[in-house]
Amino acid sequence: MQDATALAPGFHDLGLPTSLVNNLTKQGYREPTAIQAGTIPPLLKGRDVVGIAQTGTGKTAAFALPILADIDIALAKPQALILCPTRELSMQVAEAFETYAKGLSGLRVLTVCGGADMRNQLRVLKQGVHIVVATPGRLLDHLNRGTADFSRIATVVLDEADEMLRMGFIDDVDTILAKTPKERRVALFSATMPPRIRQIASKHLNDPIEIAASQASSISDNIEQHYWLAKGASKIEALKRILAYEDTDGVIVFTRTRDSTSGVAEQLCQAGYKAAALNGDMDQKLRVRTVEQLKSGGLNIVVATDVAARGLDVDRITHVINHDIPFDEEAYVHRIGRTGRAGRTGKAILFVTPREKRLLRNIERLTKKPIAEFTLPSERAIAKRKLKAFAATVEQQLTQPPTDDIAELIDDLHANGAVDYRDIAIALAALNAGTRAVKRDKKSVPKVTLPANEDASTPSPKAKEKRASKDRNNQSTDGRKLGQATPLKDHPDVPMERFRIEVGRKHGVEPREIVGAVANEAGIEGEFIGIINIQESFSTIDLPEGMPKPILKHLKKTRVKGVNLGMSRVG
């Protein structure tokens, strides 16, 4: 067995094409990780490889770069097959391929996973693809149907093989490997090597080189670590609360996918934060400008993927928030290492769904440090924090010379409206601090008279029709309103909202089928899915408030009983 940590070449020493090396440099890669240095050269020579990467550093690049080095763009048939245990990891791997391959014109990568539209997968396969990233079940379905030509597969990668074993997919993996060309090379990556994985390697790999990568993974004592047990689609609400309460300067929010970076950044901008996405779709000039804005204070929040954040070094980062937990434990260490630098203190907060607790424990084992649970600040606590900050601002302002115009304005308000100075101060404070003004006696509130023909109680014909159309959409077939979401019995603290979906009784749908689709596609735990009302031609479902736009967009296209859910918010 070879110890990958003993190898320390640069990317240019590994035998990769110059175009790929230049691309990596532009994306902020400085030098290969241990697993990359150990596996890329033998894979480029066509050897089979077993990568035992307990820290998991850089596994995707370790197999993606050799595949891209050998790909034949002119041959529009699948040449590389990557098997992953989950849909989320498949999407992440596919995006990494596209990022590493920038400038490689014509490359086509397809994810083949359960829950996605089979017809779309068939159409893209027929048009021609070069790389297929798949979960075992759906890929085996294609193989059994004969709906794809895998005769030109040159490389097969098993990513997180031990996880596929844990999830019960390893027999499917065995069958898939048996159906691929015998002359292909195989790369198997696994954090552990249980007997069944050893058996698969012995059966399907030809004289493999075994690389063991282990790196010291230390976290600065200056970084305070916490995790929050996330509750489905309420992650964005949690993120907003944390940003409203914490004393932050620069913040990096990490997500798994490019789409998520854009969706989260957009929602933060709508909430009034200076935020921007940093992902693999950005050209180098835009990336440099975004990083410079973060350094200078033009931006306070950057929402990034692991790949896009490579080489990101900004001193003012006080917080790293992991909106999505990384599949790779070492990636977590790299993420939070971007705060707490140069003797400064930093804070790292990790969002973990109940089904991801295993990944949390893996991180704790790797770092040899416990991660404390974090309680979200309440709205009342956030309001108090804002008032305290506002009070400090007022005290600072009182030390400055008075402004004649402002003083004159206050005197006029007092004289013309017979309003007490204290009431004026409270009103101004409420406006500036973002809190509600204290209710006053109706006599002291000036009456506002609308100009003729602008009576707010009389909407225009266009507004009437818009309201009527909205009311029709939000009524059941018997004319009743669709109503409001009902709080969860076991989680009354989770704010809920009601959604309409375009599948109902006439389609033969059952509640369990709706629950399964939403849970799998949106990543919402079943205990956070509320009441489902099935009507004749549509249904309603109660879900946690604050569903990100990319997830809602995806759910609109998710099919149940052959029908797009077409999910939309009620009200």
What is the C-alpha separation between 441 and 430, in angstroms, rounded?
17
Residue 414, classed as helix, strand or coil, is: helix
What is the pLDDT at residue 9?
Answer: 64
What is the C-alpha separation between 196 and 449, in angstroms, rounded?
80
Inform me whether the pLDDT recorded for 468 exceeds 60.
Answer: no
Tokens of 478: 């018997």
pLDDT tens column, 262-307: 889 998 998 889 999 998 777 767 888 898 899 999 999 999 988 7
42 and 96 in a common domain: yes
181 and 248 in a common domain: no
In a domain, 218, yes or no: no
When pLDDT is averaged across residues 87-114 and rounded to a whole number, the result is: 86
Higher pLDDT, 368 or 329: 368
193 and 288 in a common domain: no
When pLDDT is averaged across residues 164-179 and rounded to a whole number, the result is: 90
Residue 210, classed as helix, strand or coil, is: strand
The CATH number of the domain where 511 resides is what?
A: 3.30.70.330
Is 486 buried (19+), middle (13-18) or exposed (0-12) by CB count in 10 A? exposed
Answer whether 567's CB lies under 8 Å from 556's CB: yes
In which residue are the tokens 């990100």 written? 548
Give the number of other CB atoms < 10 A from CB of residue 262: 18
When pLDDT is averaged across residues 462-482 and rounded to a whole number, the result is: 52
In a domain, 453, yes or no: no
The CATH number of the domain where 341 resides is what?
A: 3.40.50.300
Helix axes 18-26, 59-70, angle to 10 degrees: 140
321, 342, 377: which is the final residue of a domain? 377
Query: Where does the pLDDT of residue 447 fall: very low under 50, low under 70, confident under 90, or very high at 90 and above?
Result: very low
Q: To 5 degrees, how large is the angle CA 534–CA 538–CA 542?
A: 60
Residue 310, classed as helix, strand or coil, is: coil
In a domain, 456, yes or no: no
168 and 109 in a common domain: yes
Higher pLDDT, 138 or 440: 138
396 and 469 in a common domain: no
Tokens of 280: 């693999």
514 and 387 in a common domain: no
What is the C-alpha separation between 185 and 189, in angstroms, rounded?
13
Give the number of other CB atoms < 10 A from CB of residue 449: 6
57 and 142 in a common domain: yes
What is the C-alpha separation between 556 and 571, in angstroms, rounded?
17
Query: Which of 60-64, 68-72, 205-209, 393-397 is predicted with the least confidence, judged by mean pLDDT?
Result: 393-397
348, 377, 406: which is the final residue of a domain? 377
What is the pLDDT at residue 333?
Answer: 86
Is 297 buried (19+), middle (13-18) or exposed (0-12) by CB count in 10 A? exposed
What is the pLDDT at residue 273?
Answer: 93
pLDDT tens column, 349-389: 999 988 888 889 989 988 888 999 998 888 888 888 888 87
Q: To 5 degrees, how large is the angle CA 474–CA 477–CA 481?
A: 35
What is the pLDDT at residue 218?
Answer: 67
In which residue are the tokens 């990096």 written? 252
Domain count within the chain: 4
Inform me whether the pLDDT recorded for 474 exceeds 70.
Answer: no
502 and 371 in a common domain: no
Best CA proximity match to 52, nearest among 66, 36, 35, 37? 35
In a domain, 450, yes or no: no
346, 377, 408: which is the final residue of a domain? 377
What is the C-alpha separation between 326 and 294, in angstroms, rounded?
23
In a domain, 449, yes or no: no
What is the C-alpha separation between 508 and 488, in angstroms, rounded?
26
In a domain, 454, yes or no: no
What is the pLDDT at residue 464?
Answer: 47
Residue 142, classed as helix, strand or coil, is: helix
In which residue are the tokens 């008279």 written? 449
As beta bridge partners, residue 542 has 498
What is the pLDDT at residue 239?
Answer: 94
pLDDT tens column, 113-144: 876 778 888 888 888 999 999 999 889 888 88
Most confident of 189-193, 201-205, 209-213, 439-443: 201-205
104 and 72 in a common domain: yes
Max intra-chain CA distance, the chain = 93
What is the pLDDT at residue 132?
Answer: 96
Give the domain range for residue 419: 381-444
In a domain, 489, yes or no: yes
What is the C-alpha separation between 483 and 465, in angstroms, rounded?
21
Inform me whether the pLDDT recorded for 318 exceeds 90.
Answer: yes
What is the pLDDT at residue 462?
Answer: 52
180 and 265 in a common domain: no
Phi then psi for residue 319, to 5 deg, are: -135, 140
Inform me whether the pLDDT recorded for 24 exceeds 90.
Answer: no
What is the C-alpha separation between 372 and 327, in angstroms, rounded?
20
511 and 484 in a common domain: yes
What is the pLDDT at residue 452?
Answer: 34
